[in-house]
Amino acid sequence: MSSSPANPRNVESRLAPRFHQALVAMPRSPDESHTEDWAMALVADAVQWKASDIHLEPGTLETRIRLRVDGVLHDVAVVPNFSGHRMVAFFKTLCGIDATALARPEHGHGTMETGGILMEFRTTVAPTPDGEMVGMRLLNTKRPVLQLDGLGMAEMDQSRLRHWLDGRQGMLLVCGPVGSGKTSTLYSMLRELQSLPCSIVTVEDPVECNLDGITQIQVNAKRGLNFPEAIRAMLRLDPDYLLVGEIRDPESAHVAITAAGTGLTVLSTIHARDAVGAVTALRNNGVKDWEISAALGLCLAQRLVRRLCAQCRTRAPLTDEERRWFSENALEAHAMLWYGKGCDTCAGTGFDGRVGIFETWRLDADASKLILHGADAATLASHAKATGTRFLLADAVNKVRDGLTALSEIRFLGGLAS
Ligand SMILES: [Zn+2]
């Protein structure tokens, strides 16, 4: 086993400069205060690179430290377990988790101020044979909410959303997997509504960002406040708009759709692959076709992909494999493709931040009729296309062509309709 505090093999130390500096400055026999220095340095690095998560993963001899930046986990340091365990203990205490060895996973939360920013952690600690693994989600509830036109949405998709905001016709559902930026999009929409003389309430788990002039409530399952309970309570406040963080079970689906049926404007998110998939997801949660048909107004599907670093992006001819991807997806191959070489601005990753891929489906009278008569997803998709919806894959390919992202980032959308 190496006696050095950090083993730099296969790690992207450029993402954790302060942490590595703290390791180098470490005396031979570090004490508790050094552990705190390490932890603070790691959090400062995470904040600098806008990491969403910090992982401490113990192995047989060493603990791997990783940051999730723009959706991708990067190894940033490997330290001996002796040091790793101390850091685990530090973060457990910070997040109010029992300091003794855990028999089962525990959750906690805590805060730390770094560079004038108060970061909030939602932490899970799980016992493994090699020690306790820590996963910390970083929340900056004071971060600025992006404007609708800062999300990377094409003109047509933006205009569909604005049209919905003006007319408030039916429920709006944002569809996509975990971590696809659904909540950020909803916040951007609320930002547009903030200035209007209306009452807006939200029910969230957790409240990811504090918004002025909007009443936000956090679901708290431990205290018996679940989504349906919280929604019912907020409805008594007589709001004009209700944001439900997520439709995740039949009960929350029922309460949200009932609220929408009473004329209230409801915005929410649901796990679905694409826009028409929202209908299937609602059906799977026990919502009846006539209820969906009456309530649903607009579905927006989205993903987040990494944005190419503007400082080091460059173009190259396609490889045979890339050319094949285009033909397999019945798409015309571009002449050249953009990729990121890696530079100091992007810590060598070639990417800097993320950009959304979107698909908006505005439900017209015919779409509502189709749902009422039980139309399947394929039928709804062809109707959506016929009425001007541009699908996720098509939007993604446009963004590759424009050099906003790389083909490697959107390949996972292959197989979706274009
Ligand atoms: Zn770069």
Cα 189 to Cα 7, 166, 172, 185, distances in angstroms = 45, 11, 11, 6
Residues 6+ apart with CB under 8 A from 205: 218, 219, 227, 245, 246
| 343 C-alpha to ligand 1 centroid (Å) | 4
| 307 C-alpha to ligand 1 centroid (Å) | 10
| 337 C-alpha to ligand 1 centroid (Å) | 16
| 314 C-alpha to ligand 1 centroid (Å) | 10
pLDDT reading at 374 higher than 90: yes
Of residues 384, 380, 393, 377, the one with CA closest to residue 330: 393
pLDDT (0 to 100) of residue 49: 92
CA pair distance 326, 48, nearest whole angstrom:
36
What is the band of 26 on the pLDDT scale with cuts at 50, 70, 90?
confident
| 352 C-alpha to ligand 1 centroid (Å) | 7
| 310 C-alpha to ligand 1 centroid (Å) | 7
Q: Is the dihedral of CA 397, 367, 177, 262 positive or negative?
A: positive
Residues 6+ apart with CB under 8 A from 372: 289, 290, 293
| 85 C-alpha to ligand 1 centroid (Å) | 34
The two three-digit tokens of residue 345, written as one number: 């601005």
CA pair distance 56, 133, nearest whole angstrom:
6
pLDDT (0 to 100) of residue 213: 87
What is the band of 9 on the pLDDT scale with cuts at 50, 70, 90?
low
pLDDT (0 to 100) of residue 7: 47
| 301 C-alpha to ligand 1 centroid (Å) | 29
pLDDT (0 to 100) of residue 10: 63
Average pLDDT, the chain: 91
Region 54-59 average pLDDT: 96
What is the per-residue pLDDT across 272-325, written as a single tens digit (0 to 9) for each? 999 999 999 999 999 999 999 999 999 999 999 999 999 999 999 999 999 999
What is the per-residue pLDDT across 200-227, written as a single tens digit (0 to 9) for each? 999 998 888 888 889 999 988 778 888 8
| 339 C-alpha to ligand 1 centroid (Å) | 10
| 93 C-alpha to ligand 1 centroid (Å) | 37
Other C-beta atoms closer than 10 Å to the C-beta of 156 total 13
What percent of the chain is modeled with pLDDT above 90? 70
What is the band of 4 on the pLDDT scale with cuts at 50, 70, 90?
very low
- Domains present along the chain, CATH in parentheses: 13-139 (3.30.450.90), 148-413 (3.40.50.300)
Beta bridge partners of 269: 174
| 354 C-alpha to ligand 1 centroid (Å) | 13
pLDDT (0 to 100) of residue 415: 74
| 375 C-alpha to ligand 1 centroid (Å) | 47
The residue with tokens 């060493």 is 62
Other C-beta atoms closer than 10 Å to the C-beta of 323 total 14
What is the per-residue pLDDT across 227-257, written as a single tens digit (0 to 9) for each? 888 988 888 888 999 999 999 999 999 999 9
| 142 C-alpha to ligand 1 centroid (Å) | 27
pLDDT reading at 192 higher than 70: yes
What is the band of 167 on the pLDDT scale with cuts at 50, 70, 90?
confident
pLDDT reading at 65 higher than 90: yes
